[in-house]
């Protein structure tokens, strides 16, 4: 655990990439005195059940001590001396390490994770510091670092990567995604390095000295089967298990991230656009060079030269911080899926660095941040089958337990289905996979219940006679709420998504669907083109969530759109479709046409009228539509400002925003899930003749599981 001197040249080079610092307000907050109320609030928020440190003092006992009037003056002095003078109690500098097993051969010490058991009074102190550092870090830590940061979500990186990979597959992009993992990242952080980084970011010297004392002046012992080893002086590494360690590791990694982002020779990846018939230009997004989640780094590189630059930055970071790349867990894959797209020399350079290679020819799938990466249906099905097999094994372990039907329903939600929400938020999966999950969970809940319950009984609230099992199709749509709100509300909701992701998603919709208003393909199903990805389409889950929303007839709101936005809509979205006009609109060209193919703004910009047939992309069809309009076969919605002759009036401006209220977006998740269930005809029936009050009384009555199952079957049969 000895410290080593780091090369000054590498350290200075990394520090030169830091051009921002925390504000003076945040700097003052970091070293402001810790009030007694802050300490008591901190200990009250701690969990009642937690592993104590070497003193064996749990949080409930610590709370009694801290709340005792005779102890409070001493507590106040101890906490503030530790912050401002770096004078910590001796017990805070004594740490016991236990080893938790990881995957792999457990005879190899590398497959054990060291966790520090820290005394509870010290953990209250670090929790207070962590809250202050988190508040300051949001202004200086790059948006592309999603690990341990407030209001940042791991799924944003997963969705962004899927969008880029789909675009790369269609455009036959030659770039590569390089997933880089570090060896024992927390354990190798150097004292001199982390303190220099904090100072460059503007952290006060008193705070830096406090961190130096907590991390690098500690005596550690290892608990081996109940026996403690002799103590060792820790001179490097962050405590795994400490509240303040994750955010400080983000600061340790930030110079490497900035060095790659600031390197102009690394181009990153930007969506490839295609020609568009619209007269307006698309929204551009900044090229994405990397994604980071703590020490999991994914760099997007396009050539052998860029790979050499990334390698140079990694070597500089390694020399300065003492970090090492874990080649066994690092990998690379072609963004377009096929190895043939990657230039030969570029591919050979990746092999020379011994990165694991994954492409469309592999008979397995890759994981990134817990999300499966696959290029073919075969790889996708391998993931689905493995996941179903794991679920079946887990269900079989609990199938024969004597549990009431309500207990089984709770197990389904908490133990079985909860493992899927992370993946289903980002990764669209085939219908057979979701149906198989429904079947397995239904068989578990209704085990030894005869006659069998209707499947729909499982998904209704308990108060109406159901079991409140989460229906997986409805929940997948609820999980898209974050992105649906951002896209329909122009990222002005309470919890906006990162700017890089919003720019990427809007640009993707504009490029893919040939529109300058990204909300058009979201709201109008006819504006979408069929995805060639066949099951790997990044937006399919988002589209399903929007299509299932019981929104009012959009035609009544068309007058709220600006004229340029109306021209971006599908032509048929402006028309009133009736049975008598069905033959008129039964035309493949017309079904895929935009309004601007036939209509244009008048000279005043206040209304729409037909183009001259010579100006239209489909002159013959344009003339036919004029005739249908004259005979009354074709009718526009009354809210559409259409005129056979141009009129004068104020000009309109392009405003790509939903111009009417969508109350559905304000629903809480449980209400939104029930709304999606009600939109499914299978779940609209009432299952019990009991009112809500008797059902609550039945649920509150204590009885054995066999008795509760009997009465439940009696209610429903």
Q: Alpha helices, DSSP H only, in 68-153?
A: 69-84, 120-137
Q: In the beta sheet, which residues pair with residue 610? A: 599
User: What pLDDT shows up at residue 61?
Assistant: 93
Give CA–CA dist 445/190, Å, rounded: 53
The tokens for 545 are 């969530």
Cα 278–Cα 280–Cα 285 angle in degrees, nearest 5: 115
9-18, 304-313, 463-472: which range is least confident on average? 463-472
Whether residue 503 has pLDDT greater than 80: yes
Share of the chain above pLDDT 70, in %: 91
pLDDT tens digits, one per residue of 505-546: 999 998 888 888 888 888 888 788 644 434 558 899 999 998
Mean pLDDT, rounded, for 654-660? 52
Q: What integer is the mean pLDDT of 42-55?
A: 87
pLDDT at 353: 86
pLDDT of residue 397: 93
In this prediction, residue 689 carries a pLDDT of 54
pLDDT of residue 277: 43
Is pLDDT above 90 for 678?
A: no
79-122 tens-digit pLDDT: 999 999 999 999 999 888 888 888 878 888 878 888 888 999 99
Give residue 553's pLDDT: 61
- Sign of dihedral through CA atoms 15, 19, 22, 27? positive
pLDDT of 685: 56
pLDDT per residue over 568-627, tens digit each? 888 888 888 777 666 777 778 888 788 888 998 887 777 888 888 778 888 888 888 888
What local confidence, expressed as pLDDT, does residue 649 receive?
Answer: 42
- pLDDT surpassing 50 at residue 241: yes
Of 421, 412, 407, nearest to 669 (Cα)?
Answer: 421
pLDDT of residue 645: 61
Nearest-angstrom CA–CA distance, 28 and 33? 10
Q: How many CA within 13 A on the CB side of residue 682?
A: 10
Bigger pLDDT: 314 vs 517:
314
pLDDT reported for residue 580:
67
Burial code (b: 16+ CB inside 10 Å, e: under 16) for 533-553 equals beebbbbebbbebbeebeeee
Handedness of CA 709, 710, 714, 715 (dihedral sign): negative
pTM (predicted TM-score):
0.87
Domains, the chain, ordered by start: 8-19+142-190+239-375 (3.30.70), 24-138+206-235 (no CATH), 377-470 (no CATH), 562-637+692-716 (no CATH)
| Spatial distance between the Cα atoms of 144 and 712, rounded to a whole number of angstroms | 51
Nearest to 483 by CA among 473, 498, 463, 471: 498
Per-chain mean pLDDT for the chain: 86
Q: What is the pLDDT of residue 647?
A: 46
Q: Across 123-251, where does the E strand assignment appear?
A: 176-180, 218-224, 227-228, 232-234
Name the 3-class secondary structure at 99. strand
From residue 271, give the alpha-carbon distance in Å to each of 167, 198, 343, 503: 7, 36, 20, 11
Q: Are strands 218-224 and 94-101 parallel, antiparallel or unpaired?
A: parallel
Lowest mean pLDDT among 186-195, 239-248, 294-303, 682-691: 682-691
Q: Is 513 exposed, middle or buried (0-12, 13-18, 19+ CB in 10 A)?
A: buried
Residue 449 has pLDDT above 90, yes or no: no
pLDDT number for residue 278: 44
pLDDT, position 246: 92
- Partnered with residue 333 across adjacent β-strands are 177
Measured between alpha carbons, how far is 560 from 581 in angstroms, rounded to an integer?
26
Look at residues 396, 193, 160 and name the one whose alpha carbon lies nearest to residue 292: 160
User: How far apart are alpha carbons 14 and 201 in whole angstroms?
Assistant: 12
Residue 170 has pLDDT above 80, yes or no: yes
* Banded model confidence at residue 273, pLDDT cuts 50, 70, 90: low
- Range list of H helices, 363-519: 377-398, 405-411, 421-424, 431-445, 472-478, 481-488, 499-513
Half-sphere exposure of 317 (CA within 13 A, CB side): 25
Q: How confident is the model at residue 337 (pLDDT cuts 50, 70, 90)?
A: very high
Give 54's pLDDT tier (boundaries 50, 70, 90).
confident
Give the per-residue pLDDT at 436: 96
Looking at residue 6, what is its pLDDT? Answer: 58
Name which residue leads in pLDDT, 493 or 647.
Answer: 493
Residue with tokens 């700097």: 27
Which of 384-398, 617-631, 668-682 has the weakest average pLDDT? Answer: 668-682
Answer whether residue 652 shows pLDDT above 70. no
More confident of the two residues 309 and 279? 309
648: pLDDT strictly greater than 70: no
Does residue 420 contact residue 471 with C-beta atoms inside 8 Å? no
Higher pLDDT, 687 or 96: 96
Residue 657 has pLDDT above 70, yes or no: no
C-alpha span between 268 and 382 (Å, rounded): 31
Tokens of 533: 């990805």
């Amino acid at each position: 655990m000895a410290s080593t001197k780091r090369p000054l040249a590498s350290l200075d080079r990394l520090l030169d990439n830091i051009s921002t610092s925390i504000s003076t307000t945040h700097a003052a907050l970091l070293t402001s005195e810790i009030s007694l109320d802050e300490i008591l609030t901190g200990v009250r928020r701690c969990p009642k059940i937690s592993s104590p440190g070497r003193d064996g003092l749990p949080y409930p006992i610590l709370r009694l001590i801290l709340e005792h009037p005779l102890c409070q003056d001493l507590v106040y002095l101890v906490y503030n001396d530790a912050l401002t003078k770096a004078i910590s109690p001796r017990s805070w500098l004594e740490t016991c390490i236990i080893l938790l097993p990881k995957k792999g051969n457990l005879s190899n010490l590398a497959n054990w994770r060291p966790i520090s058991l820290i005394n509870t009074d010290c953990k209250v102190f670090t929790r207070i510091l962590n809250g202050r550092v988190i508040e300051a870090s949001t202004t200086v830590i790059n948006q592309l670092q999603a690990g341990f940061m407030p209001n940042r979500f791991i799924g944003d990186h997963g969705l962004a990567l899927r969008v880029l990979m789909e675009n790369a597959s269609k455009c036959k992009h030659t770039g590569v995604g390089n997933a880089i993992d570090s060896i024992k990242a927390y354990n190798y952080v150097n004292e001199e390095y982390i303190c220099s980084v904090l100072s460059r970011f503007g952290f006060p010297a008193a705070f830096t000295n406090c961190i130096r004392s907590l991390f690098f002046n500690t005596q550690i012992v290892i608990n081996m089967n109940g026996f403690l080893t002799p103590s060792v002086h820790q001179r490097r590494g962050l405590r795994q298990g400490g509240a303040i360690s994750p955010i400080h590791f983000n600061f340790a990694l930030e110079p490497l991230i900035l060095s790659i982002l600031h390197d102009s020779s690394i181009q990153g990846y930007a969506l490839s656009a295609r020609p568009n018939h619209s007269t307006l230009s698309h929204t551009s997004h900044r090229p994405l060079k990397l994604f980071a989640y703590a020490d999991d780094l994914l760099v997007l590189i396009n050539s052998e030269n860029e790979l050499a630059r990334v390698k140079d930055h990694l070597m500089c970071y390694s020399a300065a911080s003492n970090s090492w790349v874990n080649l066994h867990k690092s990998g690379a894959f072609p963004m377009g899926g096929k190895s043939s797209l990657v230039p030969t020399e570029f591919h050979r350079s990746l092999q020379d660095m011994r990165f694991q290679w994954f492409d469309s020819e592999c008979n397995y799938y890759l994981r990134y941040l817990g999300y499966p990466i696959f290029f073919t249906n075969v790889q996708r099905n391998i993931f689905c089958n493995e996941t179903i097999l794991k679920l079946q094994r887990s269900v079989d372990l609990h199938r024969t337990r004597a549990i009431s039907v309500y207990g089984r329903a709770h197990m389904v939600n908490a133990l079985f289905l909860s493992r899927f929400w992370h993946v289903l938020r980002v990764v669209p999966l085939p219908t057979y996979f979701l149906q198989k999950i429904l079947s397995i969970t239904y068989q578990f809940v209704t085990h030894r219940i005869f006659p069998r319950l209707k499947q729909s009984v499982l998904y209704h609230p308990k108060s109406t006679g159901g079991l409140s099992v989460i229906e997986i199709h409805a929940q997948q749509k609820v999980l898209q709420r974050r992105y649906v709100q951002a896209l329909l509300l122009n990222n002005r909701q309470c919890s906006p998504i990162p700017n890089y992701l919003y720019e990427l998603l809007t640009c993707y919709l504009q490029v893919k669907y040939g529109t300058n208003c990204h909300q058009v393909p979201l709201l109008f199903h006819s504006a979408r083109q069929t995805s060639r990805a066949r099951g790997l389409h990044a937006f399919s889950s988002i589209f399903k969530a929007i299509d299932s929303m019981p929104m009012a007839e959009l035609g009544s709101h068309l007058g709220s759109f600006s004229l340029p936005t109306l021209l971006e809509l599908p032509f048929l979205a402006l028309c009133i479709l009736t049975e008598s006009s069905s033959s008129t609109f039964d035309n493949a060209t017309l079904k895929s046409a935009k309004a601007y193919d036939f209509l244009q703004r008048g000279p005043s910009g206040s209304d729409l009228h037909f183009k001259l047939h010579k100006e239209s992309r489909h002159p013959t069809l344009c003339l036919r539509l004029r005739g249908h309009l004259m005979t009354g076969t074709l009718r526009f919605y009354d809210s559409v400002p259409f005129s056979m002759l141009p009129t004068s009036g104020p000009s309109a401006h392009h405003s790509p925003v939903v111009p009417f209220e969508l109350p559905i977006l304000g629903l809480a998740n449980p209400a939104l899930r029930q709304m999606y269930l009600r939109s499914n005809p299978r779940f609209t029936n009432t299952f019990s003749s009991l009112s809500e009050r008797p059902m609550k009384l039945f649920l509150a009555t204590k009885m054995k599981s066999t008795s509760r199952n009997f009465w439940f079957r009696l209610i429903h049969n």
